[in-house]
Chain A
Amino acid sequence: MHVLVAVDWHVIWLRIFHPDHVFARALWATVFMSVVSQAAGVGLGLVAALMRMSRFAPLRWLSGAYVWVFRGTPLLVQIFFIYTTFNLPIVNLGVWKVPSEILTGIVALSVNEGAYMREIIRAGIDSIDRGQMEAAKSLGMRYGQAMRRIILPQAARVIVPPLGNEFNNMMKTTSLVYTVGAYELFADAEQKYSQTFISDYFIAVAFWYLVLTTAWTFIQVLIERRLARSERGDQLSYRELLLMAWNPMTTLGRGAWRR
């Protein structure tokens, strides 16, 4: 209780209900980095997963080396390496100039995420019965077509729950990019703190991360519900899915409700 009394509720109130435009920019930077990095990570993961399954051995090795390096070294080191080695440009998107530090963050987070996504995507593809590929081939489909039309849509159901966790993590992990000078949510809180020495800015920023991750939980439920539709023939209610999304145990036991 002592801690709560010491909290300066006014500061928190202001940060939550009266965010200034600097804060808005920081919030945007966090969301932008998370979404773009996750999307790119999924893309990289997919490419690496397909390489991993290639008949051509050097592609498999390359994919293995990629995962080995990027899962085996700290993300912070990767961020600093990219920041100090490559002088990434400012990218003008018209509506927004993406600062070089944000771009650094996106590159590091994407490449790092791709290594984790490769395993998730590969497990998803592996979970699809071999007969599906054979049926597709027997109908004259080529490998790529069978992957796109038959295997990946089914694998998506297996991939989405862990992908949701990855994205949840991603939104919080973007805070590391603060260390190379990106102005995102955490940087905003840190800057306010260093100006005022009021630690309550960190409570306010925690609240904002919670807003993001909670919003994502709801979106994830909608996506999973759409994907669950066909195979089961019946639908899980929003409530069931929300409970599952919040309960980490069900994510581990995901295979059980798929069958």
Chain B
Amino acid sequence: MSEVVMRATEVHKSFGRLEVLKGVSLEVKKGETICLIGPSGSGKTTFIRCINHLEKIDSGRIEVNGHLIGYRERSGKLVEDSERNIARHRTQIGMVFQRFNLFPHMTALENVIEAPMRVQGTSKAHATDYARALLSRVGLGDKLDTYPGKLSGGQQQRVAIARALAMGPALMLFDEPTSALDPEVTGEVLSVMEELAHAGITMIVVTHEMGFARKAADRVVMMDDGMIIEDGTPEHFFVAPEHERTRQFLSKIL
């Protein structure tokens, strides 16, 4: 129980002169759902992109399932890992993007079976069976052969969730999964995510959806100016936030 899936320690990251992460540390336990909130520019998105090494970090360390991500220790120093290892570690980390990033030249089903087949070497039959199950789970059992261009934003995002789940990741990262969606379809994506949270999938969700955070999160983490300033249960968070900055932020968006 309570085994740590993701551990970030003192992560620093700058884009040129702009320091976006100023020593971020966070632990996520198996089965937890973390909602990462904060004003834009606070470094939330950059931080979760660092977790699967889509962004390099300047210092600190990030471990997922006990594996150092993106780097290798060589005589006490961290050096960037080989492409092969980085790719292997990424299979453990699912990611859902703001802009879905489905592969437009593949059907929904093909999107979902692509990585299991090409990366994990799963047989087409197995990958297809599992993909069908996943697509039904996200409510798209009838859209298997549809191309992304013919799906609504909400449907595309649900395919993207199924695609990430197909790899059987230990950790799911959601980068503002509903910000690019029309209000009327955010609900269908959020309810899928809620279902995943209850099913015990370990997730880190960057979001502005406070309703979702309240309902589904085990912990809410507030970032501001490249630092985590508050970390607690939703009750704590929405009822009695400690930090003045958190109160300001919440009063603005609630």
Contacts and interface: CB of A to CB of B under 8 A. Distances in A.
Interface string A102-125: 000000000000000000000000
Given A149-B114, A230-B106, A230-B147, A141 B101 contact: no
Interface of A: 129, 131-132, 134-143, 145, 149-150, 153-154, 230-233
Nearest to B166: A139
Interface stretch (B31-39, B85-93, B196-204, B235-243): B85-93
Interface of B: 52, 54, 83-84, 87-88, 90-91, 93-95, 97, 99, 101-107, 114-115, 118-120, 147, 149-150, 160, 163-164, 167
Contact of B149 (A143, A145, A153, A232): A232
A147 to B, nearest CB: 12
B167 A142 contact: no
A140 B101 contact: no
Contact of A131 (B87, B101, B120, B163): B101
A142 B103 contact: no
A138 B94 CA distance: 7
B103 A150 contact: yes
Given A131-B101, A153-B105, A139 B164 contact: yes
Contacts of B84: 142
Nearest to B92: A140
Contacts of B147: 230-231, 233
A80 B120 CA distance: 52
Contact of B90 (A138, A154, A231, A232): A138
B98 to A, nearest CB: 9
A145 B121 CA distance: 13
B90 A139 contact: yes
Given A139-B119, A141-B119, A230-B106, A134 B90 contact: no
B118 A145 contact: yes
A6 to B, nearest CB: 55
A134 B103 contact: no
A137 B97 contact: no
B64 to A, nearest CB: 13
Given A145-B118, A232-B149, A140 B104 contact: no
B132 to A, nearest CB: 18
Contacts of A138: 52, 54, 90, 93-95, 97, 164
B15 to A, nearest CB: 15
Given A139-B115, A140-B115, A231-B147, 11 more contacts: A132-B101, A134-B54, A135-B102, A135-B103, A140-B88, A140-B91, A140-B119, A140-B120, A140-B167, A231-B104, A231-B149
A143 B83 CA distance: 8
Contacts of B150: 233
A145 B119 CA distance: 9
B149 A154 contact: no
Name the 5 nearest CB pairs between A and B, nearest first: A140-B91, A139-B115, A135-B101, A131-B101, A138-B95
Nearest to B49: A134
Contacts of B118: 141, 145, 149
Contacts of A231: 104-105, 147, 149
A26 B88 CA distance: 54
B149 A141 contact: no
B70 to A, nearest CB: 11
Given A137-B54, A139-B167, A230-B147, A129 B101 contact: yes
B91 A134 contact: no
Contact of A141 (B52, B87, B94, B95): B87
28 contacts: A129-B99, A129-B101, A131-B101, A132-B101, A132-B103, A134-B54, A135-B102, A135-B103, A138-B52, A138-B90, A138-B94, A139-B119, A139-B164, A140-B87, A140-B90, A140-B119, A140-B120, A141-B118, A142-B83, A142-B87, A149-B118, A153-B105, A154-B103, A154-B105, A230-B104, A232-B149, A233-B147, A233-B149
